[in-house]
Amino acid sequence: MSFEWLKSLIVTTDLLNQSDLTRIEKTCLEAVLIDRLNNKEIAEDLEVTPERIRQINERAIFKLSTFLRRSPKVCMRWQILSRKTMRSKNV
């Protein structure tokens, strides 16, 4: 099994901890992190329960939608992405 995804997850998490990132960058990185945690194989390897993934998703969708309402012109791309994500997950 390749551990490239784990390296990527660690890099993403490390980036989120940097204080010099803008809110937009952090929000986008959080979306990437959520996407990776939603991968079933990764979640099982990290022993993340389905309930925990649901909680993470709810929080991420709320944070992302709140942020996008405040900056619609800057993040039009992310609005489209979040709508597609919510539709595909029937949220």
Which residues are CB-contacts of 38 (< 8 A; sequence separation ≥ 6)?
53, 57
Give the range of the structural domain holding residue 66, as residue numbers without chain letter: 4-88
Q: What is the pLDDT of residues 51-89, one digit of tens each?
A: 776 777 677 667 666 665 666 554 555 555 556 655 665
pLDDT for res 87: 64
Which residues are CB-contacts of 82 (< 8 A; sequence separation ≥ 6)?
31, 61, 64, 65, 68
Task: Tell if the pTM clears 0.75, that is, is over it.
Answer: no
pLDDT for res 51: 77
Domain count, the chain: 1
